[in-house]
């Protein structure tokens, strides 16, 4: 079975929100999916080109003053591919977690405890960030999309709460 670069779906999903430049897509990801799905400029721009060549997105040059911007919008073909992907089974995932990689190779308890303290500080900081996002989302107008995004966010909150408990165990 052919492996499909999932960057395409992250971009198509962002374009469902409305036409955007590559920079705007990256910024939107930086405020939303970055906590569980990261894309860099070096993956976004080439994929936008591929999607345009495939007819999944359209690009239009617009000028803001003298500055030229390329704005992308999703096509019906792009929407159909995105919807088909949403309905398809989720593939297997191999997470990349540097903390667990280091923990695997640690040889003494002191170094392990140092790693745990470092990870605990990061987990607690992220947990607090998620709780602030949750409070903001709860104050938005009720909608199915808001409820779904809260559900996804609460997955992350529950995961972090469990990780924090685990890291504090002796």
Q: How far is CA 112 from CA 100, 119, 159, in A?
A: 11, 10, 21
Q: Report the distance separating Cα 137 and Cα 144, nearest Å.
A: 12
Q: Full-prediction pTM beyond 0.85?
A: no
- Note whether residue 92 is domain-resident: no
Asked if residue 93 belongs to a domain, the reply is: no
Tell me whether residue 121 is in a domain.
yes
Residue 81, C-beta contacts closer than 8 angstroms, at least 6 positions apart? 8, 12, 56
pLDDT digits (tens, 9 = 90+) for 23-61: 999 999 998 888 888 899 899 999 999 999 999 999 999
Last residue of a domain, one of 56, 87, 118: 87
pLDDT at position 21: 96
40 and 71: one domain?
yes
pLDDT of residue 2: 65
Contact 10, 37 (CB under 8 A): yes
Judged on CB neighbours under 10 Å (0-12, 13-18, 19+), 150 is middle
Mark whether 123 and 70 lie in a shared domain.
Answer: no
Domain containing residue 66: CATH number: 1.10.10.10
pLDDT band at 124 (very low <50, low <70, confident <90, very high): very high
Domain that holds residue 157: 98-168
**Could you give the residue ranges of the DSSP H alpha helices within 32-108?**
41-53, 76-87, 98-105
How many domains does the chain fold into? Answer: 2
Same domain, 56 and 119: no
Do 74 and 118 lie in a common domain?
A: no
Does residue 156 lie within any of the structural domains?
Answer: yes
pLDDT in tens, 62-120: 998 899 999 999 999 999 999 999 999 988 777 778 999 899 999 999 999 999 999 99
* Residue 18 placed within a domain: yes
**Whether 80 and 106 share a structural domain:** no
Put residue 18 in one of left, alpha, beta given phi > 0 → left and psi -120 to 50 → alpha.
left
| Domain end residue (candidates: 87, 111, 138) | 87
Q: Is residue 139 one of the residues assigned to a domain?
A: yes
pLDDT at residue 145, as a whole number: 86
Establish if 33 belongs to a structural domain.
yes
Last residue of a domain, one of 29, 58, 87: 87
d(CA 147, CA 134): 11
**pLDDT digit string (tens) for 127-159?**
999 999 999 999 988 888 889 999 999 999 999
Same domain, 82 and 133: no
Tokens representing residue 39 in the block: 């894309």
User: Which pLDDT score, from 0 to 100, does residue 3 have?
Assistant: 74
């Amino acid at each position: 079975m052919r492996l499909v670069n999932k960057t395409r779906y992250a971009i198509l999903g962002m374009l469902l929100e409305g036409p955007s430049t590559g920079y705007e897509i990256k910024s939107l990801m930086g405020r939303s999916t970055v906590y569980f799905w990261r894309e860099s400029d070096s993956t976004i721009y080439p994929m936008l080109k591929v999607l345009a060549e495939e007819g999944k997105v359209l690009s239009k040059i617009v000028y803001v003053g003298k500055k030229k911007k390329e704005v992308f919008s999703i096509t019906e073909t792009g929407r159909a591919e995105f919807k088909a992907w949403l309905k398809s089974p989720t593939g297997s995932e191999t997470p990349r977690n540097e903390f667990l990689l280091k923990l695997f190779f640690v040889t003494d308890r002191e170094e392990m405890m140092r790693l745990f303290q470092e990870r605990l500080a990061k987990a607690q900081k992220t947990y607090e960030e998620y709780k602030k996002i949750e409070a903001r989302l709860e104050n938005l107008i009720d909608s199915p999309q808001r409820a779904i995004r809260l559900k996804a966010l609460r997955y992350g909150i529950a995961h972090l709460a469990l990780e924090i408990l685990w890291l504090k165990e002796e």
